[in-house]
Structure 1
Amino acid sequence: MTDQDYFSYSVDDKIYPGGDGVKLSMTDMLAYFEKHGAMRVSDLHIKIGTQPAYRVDGDLVRMRGAVMTDDLARKLIYPLIGPREVDRLNKDCSVDCSYRHGKLQYRINVFRENDGLSAAIRALGIEIPEPKDVGFPSNMWQEVVNRKQGLMLFTGITGAGKSTTIASLINYINKNRACRIITLEDPIEYVFDQKHSVISQREVGRDVNSFSDGLRAMMREDPDVIFVGEMRDPETVAMTLTAAETGHLVFSTLHTRDVTGTITRILDYFPSGRQEEVRSQLSLGLAYVISQKLVPRKDGQGRIVAMEILNNTYAVSNLIRHAKIEQLYSLLQTKTRDRVDENMITLERHLARLVKQGKVDLLEAKKWANDQKSFVDAMNVVSDIGVS
């Protein structure tokens, strides 16, 4: 069959032979997300040679049914992404796009690999949570949404909830401040309504060629708040830092596991001859680094966010400027009070709080800690109500 033949199928056609002889459509497979909630069922993986698998509470669970073939995969995936994205897939061997169905928005990555066609489908809620419901360990988010400038970096592995956290903060600004918000995303994940702010969302590949092209144009579009979906290359990093330094509130993401690793990753984008300049820019433009993980709840009802937060205070800025990155962790451990000049926390301390509050199991928390000794120390000092 040609690619055109597969477009005669629709997402509602019963194609996949599931368990008990019941055939399922792509719509049926997406309905599973809505039935159980995107916080519990986060992803669907389609790969030739095995059954489709959902990620449930962080673990992969295969469906009961037939092993995926190339023909089945094309019948399910091609109608979902459409002819334009299939053309891009044939040209680039992978494609990112989005899809809306029912009460959920989906981020889709389709790619070619050793066995043929594969897809990773991520569920995102259409309803954007309030910042107070995200799971911040303090009220630092209130300071963030009232800022006029600075770089807010959100880090963590894929599926750590970065997009949801950023969306909650931008939506709060959208509802409460009269400002100009422009986003650059690949693809667009959460769709914002026009509220008190004027907001434009641009998708890389559809509305703009690249993040750097979009940022360059954005400087002529009078933004107050900017969201750069990901800092992927030195040019995008440099332009994002400049935007933060020149009077904009900028949100962006990186794939790093902790806040000190985030600073190091940014510096590693540049040759040694430029690193002093970049450290100076970062020390001046950075506002917060928030590294987060989604940890299974003790009651088995989904996952809860655990955060590590670096606030760019004078002391932090000084350490970054003088390349003393290894000393940042000690400030995270000590400047933990809920006040503007502190508002920091290690991941280990936040995990300890969640354990003491009965929200996360002790053994589960230990698995997610970056440093076992620091976690043990945190368990010895954190109180049951988590205010230490």
Structure 2
Amino acid sequence: MTDFDGTSDLLPDEGAKAGAGAPDTLKEPGVSFSGADPRRTEFDINDLLEVATEREASDLIITVDAPPMMRLLGDLVPMGTAKLTPDDCAALLRQMLRGPLVETFERHGEVDFAYSVSGLGRYRVNGFLQRGSVAIAIRIIPPRVRTIRELGLPDVVASLARRPNGLILVTGPTGSGKSTTLAAMIDLMNTEFAYHIVTLEDPIEYLHHHKRSLVNQREVGKDTRTFATGLRSALRENPDVILVGELRDLETVSTALTAAETGHLVLSTLHTCDTAQTIDRIIDVFPPHQQDQIRVQLAGTLQGVLAQQLVKRADGRGRVAAFEILVVTPAIRNLIREGKTYQIPSLLQTGGRYGMKTLEGYLRDLVAKGVITREEYDRRLKHLAESGAYVPGVSQPETAGMPGAGGYGSQGRAGPGR
């Protein structure tokens, strides 16, 4: 493997790039990209991925007029000084694209896919056009599924994964480790139960192997047309557990609720930042005349919400997930049914015996255990206060089952997140 010292000899010097121009075929979506020459650059995508993987980055970002950038501990770090030209970026994407993916990019100006390098790893790739030139965002997927214990997740995560049916949601911003948490939950089920597990992903990230369970992984755009069509099909595939990569639209949300209501365990994600907002987001997907019915349906099926974000570890070895945890109790079900989700934060404050936790309380426990610094705690609380998600002076009792020294990226990597 290649070492990286800030000026890796994998990367050409900036002077070698002078005079390169953008191919005419990349001015707008709907024009030809297939003519882009993957050899028309001194950069090699596999070499860049090797450096980023060795440095245990979470992401690699490629765009015009900047060097390749990798994300370390949440911050972007340049890989050398040589800036990429439009030809470089087009060639790097073309090195990864094959067959129908080229046509997809030509038609839409963006494409999502998984990319594998033998002996190195798997990667989730999004190629897109910006100002007529190619840019690429690559998520580096850890080489194996890490367990709930290895990640240092709270006990309630395993407890939720052992529920026989209902809906479990893992939420948070892009890059917050949602896919990693879900993969750990699926791995627990795969290890402990004789289930048929069907996953719908865009694209497939972590690869699960059959253990006690059978795991069938379907990729949107390759194995099924959309999340909604795949979910409808899954109901006819004798599943015990269905993982839906993202609840993107009304049809997918509606079918997921029906699946959870009919005895299946359904896991999915949303890009919401707290538990009450997650419930409101699901209800707001539906037109007003349906919302009362959806509140009743959601109150009867929802088992828990894990709203997570990643915070920097005190030892500098990566990041750890911090959670707001909602476990659905009879009192929570009543609030959902009655449209009083604004009262949920109060029940989070007093729900420690059920495994509930406010994000502020979770962060405070991480400080007490020495997992994160007081400065990181203060920084996160300032952000929460600015967003209105935290009221200073309100605290929560300690609860059992908090994480120890594990975490997302104890090897410097956050793991993928939707």
Letter in 1 for 2:326: L
Which residues of 2 match residues 22-101 of structure 1 at below 5 A? 25-37=44-56, 41-101=57-117
Letter in 2 for 1:111: F
CA deviations on 1:73-132 (whole Å, 9 max, x unpaired) are 111111112232121011121111001223432100011122511110001112111112
Q: Once the 2 structures are TM-superposed, how far is the Cα of residue 371 of structure 1 from its aligned partner?
A: 3.7
Q: State the TM-score, normalized to the length of structure 2.
A: 0.83
From the superposition, tell whether residues 48 and 115 of structure 1 become closer, same or farther in structure 2 (CA, over 3 Å): farther
Gaps of 5+ in 2: 1-22, 24-31, 404-418
From the superposition, tell whether residues 161 and 8 of structure 1 become closer, same or farther in structure 2 (CA, over 3 Å): closer
Structure with bigger RCO (C-alpha 8 Å, 6+ apart) = 2
Which of these residues, 330, 333, 350, is aligned with residue 362 of structure 2? Answer: 350
Identify the residue that residue 227 of structure 1 maps to in structure 2: 243
Partner-residue secondary structure (3-state), 1:82:
coil
Gaps of 5+ in 1: 17-24
State the distance in 2 between where 1:344 and 1:205 align: 37
Q: State the TM-score, normalized to the length of structure 1.
A: 0.89
From the superposition, tell whether residues 383 and 262 of structure 1 become closer, same or farther in structure 2 (CA, over 3 Å): closer
Letter in 2 for 1:259: T
Q: Once the 2 structures are TM-superposed, how far is the Cα of residue 227 of structure 1 from its aligned partner?
A: 0.4
Asked if the contact 2:326–2:357 (Cα under 8 Å) also holds between the matched residues in 1, the reply is: yes
Identify the residue that residue 179 of structure 1 maps to in structure 2: 195
Residue 212 of structure 2 is aligned to residue 196 of structure 1: yes
Q: Once the 2 structures are TM-superposed, how far is the Cα of residue 3 of structure 1 from its aligned partner?
A: 4.3
Identify the residue that residue 19 of structure 1 maps to in structure 2: none
From the superposition, tell whether residues 362 and 375 of structure 1 become closer, same or farther in structure 2 (CA, over 3 Å): farther
Partner-residue secondary structure (3-state), 1:111:
strand
State the distance in 1 between where 2:49 and 2:168 align: 33
Identify the residue that residue 268 of structure 1 maps to in structure 2: 284
Letter in 1 for 2:47: D
Partner-residue secondary structure (3-state), 1:378:
coil
From the superposition, tell whether residues 375 and 203 of structure 1 become closer, same or farther in structure 2 (CA, over 3 Å): farther
From the superposition, tell whether residues 253 and 385 of structure 1 become closer, same or farther in structure 2 (CA, over 3 Å): closer
Identify the residue that residue 290 of structure 1 maps to in structure 2: 306
Residue 121 of structure 2 is aligned to residue 104 of structure 1: yes
Partner-residue secondary structure (3-state), 1:45:
strand
Q: Once the 2 structures are TM-superposed, how far is the Cα of residue 66 of structure 1 from its aligned partner?
A: 2.2
Asked if the contact 2:246–2:268 (Cα under 8 Å) also holds between the matched residues in 1, the reply is: yes
Partner-residue secondary structure (3-state), 2:269:
strand
Letter in 1 for 2:182: I
Q: Once the 2 structures are TM-superposed, how far is the Cα of residue 385 of structure 1 from its aligned partner?
A: 10
Worse-matched range after superposition: 140-149 or 297-306: 140-149
Identify the residue that residue 366 of structure 1 maps to in structure 2: 378
Letter in 2 for 1:309: I
State the distance in 2 between where 1:276 and 1:100 align: 46
From the superposition, tell whether residues 99 and 85 of structure 1 become closer, same or farther in structure 2 (CA, over 3 Å): same
CA deviations on 1:6-50 (whole Å, 9 max, x unpaired) are 4664xxx9723xxxxxxxx2111111232122xxx1111111122
Worse-matched range after superposition: 123-132 or 289-298: 123-132
Q: Once the 2 structures are TM-superposed, how far is the Cα of residue 228 of structure 1 from its aligned partner?
A: 0.3
State the distance in 2 between where 1:83 and 1:32 align: 27
Letter in 2 for 1:360: I
What count of residue pairs does the alignment treat as equivalent?
367
The RMSD of aligned alpha carbons is: 2.1
Identify the residue that residue 125 of structure 1 maps to in structure 2: 142
State the distance in 2 between where 1:374 and 1:382 align: 18
Partner-residue secondary structure (3-state), 2:107:
helix
Identify the residue that residue 42 of structure 2 maps to in structure 1: 15
Partner-residue secondary structure (3-state), 1:136:
coil
